[in-house]
């Protein structure tokens, strides 16, 4: 029987997620030791978290520059209705597109792309022109990359922090 995802997000579930974000290659025995469950209970909890979609995959991070992908950029793209589905099909075929987000507001899409060179980026932008109006920002550096999710259940919102900052002034 699959549990409700809310029930899985108790203190043990949150501890498991915190540990997995630090190192997804930990053995079940080591995870169990760290979170205070038996190995059997830990394995069952992990299986349930996978079944309900809390844990979607276990991945490896690869340094894009080691692969020769020197350029990282974001492309905002306006796209009218008649080009929407064609664009969605097209970006699925592009290895350069790492992420594609459908947005509200003036831009329809935000693409995170990597290329081996500026000329490769230029060719990608030109390939997108039939689908809409691309606006490109090249990344100079990334001070924060792949930040972990807070799994404590107690997110500190900017509004709460702002109130604290105002009280200290």
pLDDT tens column, 25-36: 999 999 999 999
* Helix spans in the chain (H): 5-8, 11-22, 28-35, 39-51, 81-92, 118-128, 158-168
Whether the per-residue pLDDT at 14 is higher than 70: the answer is: yes
**E strand or H helix that includes residue 97:** strand 97-102
Whether the per-residue pLDDT at 23 is higher than 70: the answer is: yes
Cβ pair 8, 54 in contact under 8 A: yes
The 10s digit of each residue's pLDDT in 76-133 is 999 888 899 999 999 999 999 999 999 998 899 999 999 999 999 999 999 999 999 9
Q: What is the pLDDT of residue 79?
A: 87
* pLDDT band at 163; cut points 50, 70, 90: low
Q: What is the pLDDT of residue 151?
A: 79
Q: What is the mean pLDDT of residues 66-79?
A: 96
Cβ pair 126, 94 in contact under 8 A: no
Whether the per-residue pLDDT at 155 is higher than 60: the answer is: no
Q: What is the pLDDT of residue 38?
A: 96
Q: What is the pLDDT of residue 157?
A: 56
> 37 has which bridge partners?
none
Q: What is the mean pLDDT of residues 6-27?
A: 90
For all residues of the chain together, what is the average pLDDT? 88
Whether the per-residue pLDDT at 165 is higher than 90: the answer is: no
Q: What is the pLDDT of residue 150?
A: 79
């Amino acid at each position: 029987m699959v549990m409700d995802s809310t029930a899985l997000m108790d203190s043990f579930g949150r501890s498991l997620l915190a540990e997995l974000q630090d190192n997804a290659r930990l053995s079940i025995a080591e995870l169990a030791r760290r979170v205070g469950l038996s190995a059997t209970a830990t394995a069952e909890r992990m299986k349930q978290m996978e079944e309900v979609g809390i844990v979607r995959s276990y991945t490896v991070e690869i340094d894009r520059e080691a692969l020769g992908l020197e350029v990282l950029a974001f492309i905002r793209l306006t796209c009218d209705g008649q080009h929407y589905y064609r664009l969605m099909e097209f970006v699925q075929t592009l290895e350069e597109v790492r992420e594609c987000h459908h947005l509200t507001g003036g831009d329809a899409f935000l693409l995170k792309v990597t290329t081996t060179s500026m000329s490769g980026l230029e060719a990608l932008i030109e390939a997108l022109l039939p689908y809409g109006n691309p606006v490109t920002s090249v990344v100079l550096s990334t001070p924060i990359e792949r930040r972990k999710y807070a799994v404590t259940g107690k997110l500190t919102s900017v509004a709460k922090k702002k109130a604290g900052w105002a009280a200290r002034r």
